[in-house]
Amino acid sequence: MMIDENATIITGAPGGKASSAPLLGRDAEPTLFELSHPGRRSWSFRTTGIPEVGVEDLVPAIHRRTAPVDVAEVSERDLVAHFTRLSHRQFSVDLGAYPLGSCTMKYNPKICDTVAGLPGLAGVHPAAPASMTQGWLGLMVELEETLCEVTGMAAATLQPAAGAAGELTGLLLMRAWHDAHGATRHKVIIPDSAHGTNPASVTLGGYEVVTVPSDDRGCVDMAALRSVLDEDVAGIMLTNPNTLGLFEEDIAEIAAAVHRVGGLLYYDGANLNAILGVVRPGDMGFDIVHMNLHKTFATPHGGGGPGAGPVAVSERLVPFLPGPRPYRTGSGEPGAAFGWLTPERSIGRVHTWHGNTLVLARALAYILANGGDGLKQIAQVAVLNANWIRQRLHHTYDVPFDRPCMHEVVLSTRTLKAEHGVRALDVAKRLLEEGFHAPTVYFPLIVEEALMIEPTETESPQTLEALAVSLEAIAAEAVRVGAEALATYPHGTPVRRVDEARAARTLIPTYDAKD
Amino acid sequence: MMIDENATIITGAPGGKASSAPLLGRDAEPTLFELSHPGRRSWSFRTTGIPEVGVEDLVPAIHRRTAPVDVAEVSERDLVAHFTRLSHRQFSVDLGAYPLGSCTMKYNPKICDTVAGLPGLAGVHPAAPASMTQGWLGLMVELEETLCEVTGMAAATLQPAAGAAGELTGLLLMRAWHDAHGATRHKVIIPDSAHGTNPASVTLGGYEVVTVPSDDRGCVDMAALRSVLDEDVAGIMLTNPNTLGLFEEDIAEIAAAVHRVGGLLYYDGANLNAILGVVRPGDMGFDIVHMNLHKTFATPHGGGGPGAGPVAVSERLVPFLPGPRPYRTGSGEPGAAFGWLTPERSIGRVHTWHGNTLVLARALAYILANGGDGLKQIAQVAVLNANWIRQRLHHTYDVPFDRPCMHEVVLSTRTLKAEHGVRALDVAKRLLEEGFHAPTVYFPLIVEEALMIEPTETESPQTLEALAVSLEAIAAEAVRVGAEALATYPHGTPVRRVDEARAARTLIPTYDAKD
Amino acid sequence: MGTYIPHTDEEIAGMLAFLGLSDINELFAAVPEAVKLQRTLELADGVGEPDVLAHMEQFADQNRARNDRLVCFAGGGAYDHEIPSVTRALAGRSEFVTSYTPYQPEVAQGVLQAVFEFQTMVARMAGLPVSNASLYDGGSAAVEAVNLGVAATKRQTVWVSEGIHPHWRQMLATFAVGTGHIIRTIPLVGGVTAWPADPTGVDGSPGVVVVGYPNYLGCLEDLSAVRALCDRLGALMVVGADPLATGLLRSAGDWGADVMVGEGQVFGTTLGFGGPYLGLFACSSSHVRRLPGRLVGETVDVEDRTAYVTTLRAREQDIRREKATSNVCTNQTLMAVTAAIQLGWLGTSGLIEVATRCARATHYTRGAVLAVDGVTPWAEAPVLREFAVRLPIAADTVIERMADAGFLAGISLEGAVDGGGHGLLIAATERRTADQIDAYAAALAKAVA
Amino acid sequence: MGTYIPHTDEEIAGMLAFLGLSDINELFAAVPEAVKLQRTLELADGVGEPDVLAHMEQFADQNRARNDRLVCFAGGGAYDHEIPSVTRALAGRSEFVTSYTPYQPEVAQGVLQAVFEFQTMVARMAGLPVSNASLYDGGSAAVEAVNLGVAATKRQTVWVSEGIHPHWRQMLATFAVGTGHIIRTIPLVGGVTAWPADPTGVDGSPGVVVVGYPNYLGCLEDLSAVRALCDRLGALMVVGADPLATGLLRSAGDWGADVMVGEGQVFGTTLGFGGPYLGLFACSSSHVRRLPGRLVGETVDVEDRTAYVTTLRAREQDIRREKATSNVCTNQTLMAVTAAIQLGWLGTSGLIEVATRCARATHYTRGAVLAVDGVTPWAEAPVLREFAVRLPIAADTVIERMADAGFLAGISLEGAVDGGGHGLLIAATERRTADQIDAYAAALAKAVA
Ligand SMILES: Cc1ncc(COP(=O)(O)O)c(C=O)c1O
Ligand SMILES: Cc1ncc(COP(=O)(O)O)c(C=O)c1O
């Protein structure tokens, strides 16, 4: 038995073994660029019968590129293997529980994929006139009306592509409204528990951030709020239930106080899932509301997007909404039931086209499947699941604000850290090893060593049970083996803890940046 | 820190953690029955407006079941998680190289999935009259004509659902032909290298198996063949190239000899991929030919099926083909271009309907994409890849018949076993650990410790390289660490070596059979 | 190079050089010139995928009877059931689609466990302890059941009810030529089988009795009589059952069947013009060593973790060769996995629900259809999810006329039963609405007028 | 319980008991009665998935302008390109679809590596070293680019060519209200931007200059002039480029751009009535710390294995809060992964091929259209994959008439450029055949007659 000496290497590129398939889960998957070999190809196009004019006759010399863009050259077979193997290195809702607080990682019904793939929706050009896109306009109007009923608002724009986009849109609406009323204001109030997009959006809206602290209930400190309220306050941004998973009980007083100084209330709808059908932002006194359809209405997160962040407003703000907006013309003529209209004092366009439309279609399908009755049950069970976790674990982990929560609960490893040096991060990483995704950690910022758990309503009781058992076991293990041992986890994941500092220190943002 | 004592278990069923997701790849995935909890449900149906008559009024008492069939009760979310996790415990062509000899595990183009999903093909009832299924009949006729050109035969039946079904169909054609010519014959000859389905089909065809040995070239021993040829021989079944990956060079003589005694030649098309466009069974003198569309024409194997095993025959056997058959009516009337016809001396129906029709559609799409030119290149590169592997490894492993092979090469660990006790199975299992699927082992039976490697034409040179490097490394490792150490592999797979003896000894064919 | 071949010309040249060859055709030196194809295949050259799709879409477009164009009232063993997005999505996972028969259990637990779950579900529906991993289709399952029965009883005569799907009966006849079985068809009278009191003629006593439940006309037969007959004759009782109907009906095993066979298309597989479908096969433990096809069993791995593997392989062709219980190798695994998913979606309550909805729709349709002048019941026996009627004119004509009204009216009984030319077999699944059925009946009234 | 809620009533009761509650509404005790909704939502009750699908299919059916009904000649930043089955299949893998932003890199290498590959491809097309992980769409990328430019130059004035997509310009205007930027539109003359020699008026010298390549009218502008202008003014050069055109055209970086933004829909994303699309953003290294949105970087894990992670997080809103470079959080990752897959399918040769085929189809269409009586070129500047013409009658009327002939004729230039009412913007992708184009021209001749 010997190895062939004059065995020729036919190519240096690495081979197509399932090296990264978690079936085996050891080696890294090479990049597409490493798998690439000159001359391979996957593409094919239709026969067109169009004369094959040379590039010289198509592109003037000064515009013509000299060297081709080096993309990557692989066979279709290797392309499929590469991305299939990458998918095996990725956790997802479809693989298991994903209790990522504030992200509402609920089950994404497959029916909505079918809807988003309908040729009659997916194949429509956005610039086609209203007369030829009545279905889309009707769908959008139906969704807008539905969202308004759910939030208790008068009208909505479906343009914002995500929550943060909705926030900025809302702040520009705020500004437009104040400008229209001759009062330029400079400050927007947000609680210290607010999500980072809130202050960032405030800045982009041209306002100055004024932060109010939370009190010992985990709610806005009313006294502190009153102390900053004045005629220069354009409005306040609130998440309710807030990012601690607690309902702002003084919401009515807050609304009254802010309105008294002529400010507007902005509702960050990231946590809307908790109150569907129970209480509506409009009824709480909010003037502007964004929704994260990719949270509350189960459109898939796609590894970080796309989302959709429609913004609904009260009557007085309708004239300022972005445009053009789809509306019912009232006309009975075929192809004329719906049209486009730009509000007379519109802040203008906030999306290149009409919003993340296919995401809107998914959300409407989801709402229709659940119905008004189902939406309320969603809120009820989402809150039930979170409270069950809280009750089950409140002896095992610290619960900074230990009272009934809404759809999510914020735990803390404060004691574990003090007594055993175990941090929230260690618990999160250890949980990955158990086959669950980790909770959100270190948010909200006002809770030290925060573990923010949002089970959502689609996790079954047995999954809650398994999650609780794992978290209890980890706490016990932390005491038993200590911080160092715990800090070595995870072990069984495609990669183990990564060197984030190095990534930032010696930045490698592309394959070409590698020395 | 303590664990809540009076924590209630809300359900005993295991939870939905990605325990089996090979992201972590340790724990087993519970069965759907273990995940089941009374009262869960996923199903929903449309609103029909049909009166909700009670079961008593629908089913007479004696027919009505008393206890429901206990299927399993899970939420759609848990259903999705369960089967997605199971998919992560499964190797596939899409994950990596699958050099399983005799199985032609080539890349299955995604375009064919799209074709099989076309509503106009997938939504057609098989009993609809020809006038309403002209598209399907036209598709089948086009495929039949194409397969006849590829094999050099006169006509074909598309009914057989797989290769073995094709074999039995072919043997019944053989029998019908002999009966029609007043000669009842009793014997069918097969080489000792034949696939197991061949002898099994011979028996079901009502014939007696006569086995002829292979000579030192790995081909049919001509002398031995002549010695068994007589008037009682109905025919011979050959795979060419044979299961050793070698071309039966004496095929012309074999054909002449068999025909001389009035026998027919049956071609097992499992290895047709090797000779597409190069040589045709019909031109070699074969009378009956089956094809495995799920091998040669890239229809996916589906974890063990479905396949399709059309049988093509020479002119003289056409009257005996199964029926009904789609055919060109020659009529110019709309909806009448194609019809059904049953040959006057048909052996009858061999499939409940018309064959694995959607598999047929996939195969035609594949053939159209490749074209006549592409089919020949497939054979050329399939053979090239196999020979490159043979040449690269023939110093590392035994090559029982060390001469140019066709689309697959049969290696052996005879020396490794003699000198180090390492068996073909150990090499195969060790290869799994490398991220490749194993070759076919212990087949053909006439080669001891056989490792049958069929790379197929869709594996790129770098994949061949990686495969060869791994096989060389394993051979070296075998010498270094010895048989025992090697026998512990695989380690990184969802499960390690399984106790097959126990499975047979204490049979557990269903979840209910568990004590 | 060909569409799906990665190799560049340079690589091919390099590989040939490594083999000491200069031309790729030299690879085929072993093929005698005399038999080589001296021309290129007379097939069009390869085209891009968009052209392929366009070509296939033309065929699709020429099918008038697609269920998105004609409302489907046809059944006869292939039904227009709901297939939810979730079933399509999961069954379409490429790990299930592009893997081979699980020869290496260490990397095939996904398919193996899914099939183990499928076997459990089939066994439960059949009321029998063992199910295999699938056969080609209902008809091939029936053929295998007869082979098993003859082997078990060593008696070649088989009694087959005329209520068995006519295509199954044709297949039994086709394969009997090879096995030498004697197939005797026992006629239907009033929609149910008229079993002879005793074996008559030269054939002798049957080793196997095959009956449909519901039978081809949709009628429910009293299987206790069949069980009694089999006991008297010492024959094996094989029931060809509609597995979906087990949501409401007693299972084959409950009636005393030795073997249940059936068509599994009803669980998540598209109509697809008849294939690929799913042959179901379940039997009593005593016959497990004669079971055709693959069987998955539970066991453990070296670390004592639960694992699944194909077992009792000694029955199979690759080991037992000419003495194998069957020649089946590739079967319909993906459809079995699909069925496990669809049944998981239905669950215990959904199986009852879908069967009930089919029964309601069918009875509602029957009422509306029998109200049409000149349309009479074919048989009086009770039906569940399908029924047959006698038309005043030829069924083929009616089917053509109904198509113009937007319906696939059903299946003509021509050739299925004596004088079937005026018989129409009608099925209404859970997908049919009252509006569709009312419109169907109205159209039928015109069509037969 | 609600459609996708697993819980049984018993389980809910049990869980409530564990919480010491008797009624599920008690969970909302913290919500003041005064604000609670005292009625049920005025929405229909939930329905089964088949009903939902039927409802949504009605909407789909009412869209006349679907590309399977009207042959698409519309572009304007959204193009009807080939999307192969392989891209759909891979981008549809549920691991990519149902995961969140990769906060836990140990279990998110799939998305992270795919995005790293995407960033590399975008950077190569842009001819710039850094690309982010995606923004909402082309317009939002342009807005972010302007924000970056103003922050970098500390100058609020922005010159935007009229050749930038009108919707992008509208977005710039919308968001400038918040940021206080001064947006000045520089007009097109003869299809190309007529840059002023020097800053005039009160606005002062611009910190950012934004130009389209090709521009909205499909014309190719000489960007060396823009580079020279920016050098003279000390402004950042932002190019809004069509990434697909880089198959043939010089890259933005090659022309000296500091930032490239673009619309990535052309790489595997369906038209979808305008969303979700893909905002592309690439820039020079000097601006990496001002980069908006997520950035994936390569690093190693504790075992020194290659690993990917989101990096330079200190720029982002969740850490930097009001001082963040942008407020973007959720972006368009799935579209970025889709683009990586589609670009992998195209590869080096395919990117050239698709650009060339678009150019050929466009030039062929232009020839046919300009041969129509009364149709004249809008501008003489060279075009690549899209062009504008002047019609004898209103474009809107022509578009309606062309629809009756089976075409989506293009986009009216009304509102896009002065006197655009008679202007029609026409694009022909690689999917258009000579027959379709000839028929289009013939129909246009009738439509304008
Ligand atoms: C409380 C809160 N507000 C706002 C956002 C931003 O929403 P998006 O990511 O859709 O921009 C999030 C998302 O994580 C959030 O949790
Ligand atoms: C040589 C040979 N003959 C016949 C067969 C049987 O074909 P099928 O599995 O399609 O029934 C096979 C399949 O493995 C084979 O390799």
Mind listing the pLDDT tens digit for each residue in B59-86?
999 999 999 999 999 999 999 999 999 9
- Do residues B32 and C347 touch, judged by C-beta distance below 8 A? no
Beta strand pairing status for B311-313 and B288-291?
A: antiparallel
Considering every ligand atom shown, identify the ligand nearest to the alpha carbon of residue B306 and give its number. 2
Tens digits of per-residue pLDDT, C43-91? 999 999 999 999 999 999 999 999 999 999 999 999 999 999 999 999 9
- Do residues A161 and D140 touch, judged by C-beta distance below 8 A? yes
Backbone angles phi, psi at D416, to 5 degrees: -85, -45
Residue A146, SS3 per DSSP: helix
My answer on whether omega of the bond before B160 falls inside 30° of 0, hence cis, is no
Residue whose structure tokens are 């192809």: A335
**Separation CA D226–CA D234 (nearest Å):** 12
B202 lines ligand 2 (CB under 6 A): no
- Do residues D290 and D151 touch, judged by C-beta distance below 8 A? yes
Give which of D49, D90, D342, D432 to mutate to test C binding, by max C Cβ within 10 Å: D49
Q: Would you call A405 exposed, middle or buried from its count of C-beta atoms within 10 A (0-12, 13-18, 19+)?
A: buried
What is the pLDDT, as a whole number, of residue A24? 44
What is the pLDDT, as a whole number, of residue C322? 86
Closest to C425 measured CA to CA, from C391, C384, C392, C388: C388
What is the pLDDT, as a whole number, of residue C2? 54
What is the pLDDT, as a whole number, of residue B7? 54
- Do residues A184 and A170 touch, judged by C-beta distance below 8 A? no
Taking CA atoms, B107 is separated from A266, A304, B465, C98, D186, in Å, by: 54, 31, 18, 8, 53
**Separation CA A296–CA A407 (nearest Å):** 11
Tens digits of per-residue pLDDT, C364-390? 999 999 999 999 999 999 999 999 999
- Do residues A298 and A106 touch, judged by C-beta distance below 8 A? yes
**Separation CA C425–CA C423 (nearest Å):** 7
Closest to A183 measured CA to CA, from A244, A103, A264, A249: A264
Taking CB atoms and an 8 Å cutoff, what residues of chain B touch C324? 196, 199-200, 203
CA–centroid distance, B309 to ligand 2, in Å, is 9
Confidence of residue A405 (pLDDT cuts 50, 70, 90): very high
Closest to C163 measured CA to CA, from C269, C73, C77: C77
CA–centroid distance, B197 to ligand 2, in Å, is 7
Considering every ligand atom shown, identify the ligand nearest to the alpha carbon of residue B195 and give its number. 2
Secondary structure letter of residue C104 according to DSSP:
S
Whether the predicted pLDDT of A170 surpasses 70: yes
> What number of C-beta contacts closer than 8 Å exist between A and B?
266
The gap between the terminal CA atoms of chain B, to the nearest Å, is 40
Q: How far is C183 from chain B (nearest CA, A)?
A: 14
- Judged by a CB distance cut-off of 8 A, whether residue D433 touches chain A is yes
Nearest to A306 among D72, D324, D334 (CB): D334
Q: How far is B87 from chain A (nearest CA, A)?
A: 10
- Do residues D59 and D296 touch, judged by C-beta distance below 8 A? no
Taking CB atoms and an 8 Å cutoff, what residues of chain C touch A84? 94
A307 lines ligand 1 (CB under 6 A): yes
Tens digits of per-residue pLDDT, B217-275? 999 999 999 999 999 999 999 999 999 999 999 999 999 999 999 999 999 999 999 99
**Separation CA B181–CA D202 (nearest Å):** 105
Which chains have 3 or more CB–CB distances shorter than 8 Å to chain B?
Answer: A, C, D
Taking CB atoms and an 8 Å cutoff, what residues of chain B touch D18? 8, 10
Taking CA atoms, B335 is separated from A12, B142, B330, B354, C64, in Å, by: 57, 16, 11, 19, 9
Q: What are D335's two structure tokens?
A: 């579209």
Confidence of residue B11 (pLDDT cuts 50, 70, 90): low
Taking CB atoms and an 8 Å cutoff, what residues of chain B touch C322? 199-200, 202-203, 209
Closest to C100 measured CA to CA, from B108, B31, A29, B413: B108
Q: Which helix (H) or strand (E) holds A476?
A: helix A461-486
Confidence of residue A20 (pLDDT cuts 50, 70, 90): very low
Give which of B70, B79, B125, B201 to mutate to test C binding, by max C Cβ within 10 Å: B125
What is the pLDDT, as a whole number, of residue C443? 98
> What number of C-beta contacts closer than 8 Å exist between B and C?
759
Taking CB atoms and an 8 Å cutoff, what residues of chain D touch A351? 136-137, 139-140, 171, 274-275
> What number of C-beta contacts closer than 8 Å exist between C and D?
10
Taking CA atoms, A194 is separated from A206, A289, A297, A447, in Å, by: 18, 15, 22, 12
Taking CA atoms, C443 is separated from B1, C362, C388, in Å, by: 75, 17, 17
Q: How far is B17 from chain A (nearest CA, A)?
A: 5
C174/B131 touch (CB, cutoff 8 Å), yes or no: no
Residue A64, SS3 per DSSP: strand
**Three-state secondary structure along C67-86?**
CCCCEECCCCCCCCCCCCHH
Whether the predicted pLDDT of A6 surpasses 80: no
Considering every ligand atom shown, identify the ligand nearest to the alpha carbon of residue A310 and give its number. 1
Considering every ligand atom shown, identify the ligand nearest to the alpha carbon of residue B164 and give its number. 2
Nearest to D350 among A43, A100, A108 (CB): A43
Confidence of residue A29 (pLDDT cuts 50, 70, 90): confident
Please state, rounded to an integer, the average pLDDT across all residues of chain A.
94
Taking CB atoms and an 8 Å cutoff, what residues of chain C touch D50? 82, 431
Identify which of B98, B102, B104, B159 to mutate to test ligand 2's pocket (most ligand atoms within 8 A of the CB): B102
**Separation CA A454–CA A474 (nearest Å):** 18
Q: What are D40's two structure tokens?
A: 């049920």
Closest to C139 measured CA to CA, from C265, C18, C252: C265
Length of chain D in residues, anyone?
Answer: 449
Q: Facing residues of C186 across strands?
A: C161
- Judged by a CB distance cut-off of 8 A, whether residue C100 touches chain B is yes
State the Cα torsion A116-A121-A124-A129 to the nearest 10°: -140
Whether the predicted pLDDT of B18 surpasses 60: no
Q: What are D310's two structure tokens?
A: 């989101």
Q: Facing residues of D259 across strands?
A: D238, D283
Q: Which residue of D has its CA nearest to B18?
A: D107
Confidence of residue B493 (pLDDT cuts 50, 70, 90): confident
**Separation CA C82–CA C345 (nearest Å):** 11
**Separation CA C75–CA C69 (nearest Å):** 17
Q: Report, as an integer, the average pLDDT of C415-423.
A: 92
Radius of gyration of chain A (CA): 27
Give which of B114, B115, B362, B460 to mutate to test D binding, by max D Cβ within 10 Å: B114
One-character DSSP codes across A332-379: -STT-SEEEE--TT-----SSSSSSHHHHHHHHHHHHHHHHHHHHHHH
B470 lines ligand 2 (CB under 6 A): no
Residue whose structure tokens are 């006038």: B131
**Separation CA D328–CA A203 (nearest Å):** 13
My answer on whether omega of the bond before C199 falls inside 30° of 0, hence cis, is no
B169 lines ligand 2 (CB under 6 A): no
My answer on whether omega of the bond before D276 falls inside 30° of 0, hence cis, is yes
Q: How far is C431 from chain D (nearest CA, A)?
A: 9
Nearest to C18 among A8, A38, A77 (CB): A8
Taking CB atoms and an 8 Å cutoff, what residues of chain C touch B69? 124-125, 246-247, 251, 348, 351
Residue whose structure tokens are 């289009």: D440
What is the pLDDT, as a whole number, of residue D301? 95
Whether the predicted pLDDT of B122 surpasses 50: yes
Taking CB atoms and an 8 Å cutoff, what residues of chain D touch A172? 174-175, 177-178
One-character DSSP codes across C224-265: HHHHHHHHHHT-EEEEEE-GGGGGTBPPTGGGT-SEEEEEGG
Atom of ligand 1 nearest to the CA of A165: 11
Taking CA atoms, C8 is separated from A70, A102, B374, C16, C25, in Å, by: 17, 51, 14, 12, 17
- Do residues A472 and A430 touch, judged by C-beta distance below 8 A? no
Q: Would you call B228 exposed, middle or buried from its count of C-beta atoms within 10 A (0-12, 13-18, 19+)?
A: middle
Q: What contacts C25, CB < 8 A, 6 or more positions away?
A: B380
What ranges make up the beta strands (E) of B250-305?
Answer: 264-269, 288-291
Instruction: Say how many C-beta atoms besides its own lie within 10 A of residue A7's C-beta.
Output: 17
Give which of A17, A431, A456 to mutate to test B binding, by max B Cβ within 10 Å: A17
D317/A164 touch (CB, cutoff 8 Å), yes or no: yes
Confidence of residue D315 (pLDDT cuts 50, 70, 90): confident
**Separation CA A292–CA A278 (nearest Å):** 18
Backbone angles phi, psi at B76, to 5 degrees: -60, -35
**Separation CA B207–CA B187 (nearest Å):** 5
- Give me the helix-helix angle, B357-393 and C49-61, nearest 10°: 150
Q: Facing residues of D360 across strands?
A: none
B197 lines ligand 2 (CB under 6 A): yes
- Judged by a CB distance cut-off of 8 A, whether residue D224 touches chain B is no
Q: Facing residues of D240 across strands?
A: D212, D261
What is the pLDDT, as a whole number, of residue B61? 97
Which chains have 3 or more CB–CB distances shorter than 8 Å to chain D?
Answer: A, B, C
D330 lines ligand 1 (CB under 6 A): yes
What is the pLDDT, as a whole number, of residue B20? 36
Beta strand pairing status for D157-161 and D182-186?
A: parallel
Radius of gyration of chain C (CA): 25
Secondary structure letter of residue D83 according to DSSP:
-
- Do residues B307 and B293 touch, judged by C-beta distance below 8 A? yes
